[in-house]
Amino acid sequence: MKKKERNIKELLQVMLDNTRLFRDGLCNYVQLLQSGLLLDLHEVKMLLVYIEYNRPSKWSSFNAYRNCNILFYWDMGDIKPRIKWIKKHIKKVSEETINIKN
């Protein structure tokens, strides 16, 4: 039996619900969720593409500005801005879904 494909909002929620697995950055976090069997390979790819195309503006915070030319968007290991980003994007995707339905 094939499992239901989860949308990006559901995948972001998986990230938010499993912050205990977070170690250093968003992309590695997604990989950890896969190794914890919470995401499959297709979902990992979806999230990594979403993260890349929705990276924080370098003007969104001092940390984002300071880290804009390296792999980490925020200070390595600091989960607070990442949780804020995840919540922002859950809301954004929810609003886009409502607008599409209307």
Q: Average pLDDT for residues 27-39, to the nearest whole number?
A: 93
Which pLDDT score, from 0 to 100, does residue 70 have? Answer: 53
Which pLDDT score, from 0 to 100, does residue 59 have? Answer: 42
Which pLDDT score, from 0 to 100, does residue 65 have? Answer: 46
Give the H/E segment covering residue 34.
helix 26-35
Buried b (16+ CB within 10 A) or exposed e, 34-51: eeeebbeeebbebbeebb
Angle between helices 26-35 and 80-101 (to 10 degrees): 80
Cα-only R_g, the chain:
14
Burial class (CB in 10 A: 0-12, 13-18, 19+), 20: exposed
Q: With CA atoms as reference, report the closest residue to 94 among 30, 19, 18, 8.
A: 8
Model confidence over 49-101: pLDDT tens digits?
Answer: 999 899 876 545 555 445 444 567 778 889 999 999 999 999 999 988 776 66
The model carries a pTM of 0.80
Assess whether pLDDT exceeds 70 at residue 30.
yes
Assess whether pLDDT exceeds 90 at residue 21.
yes
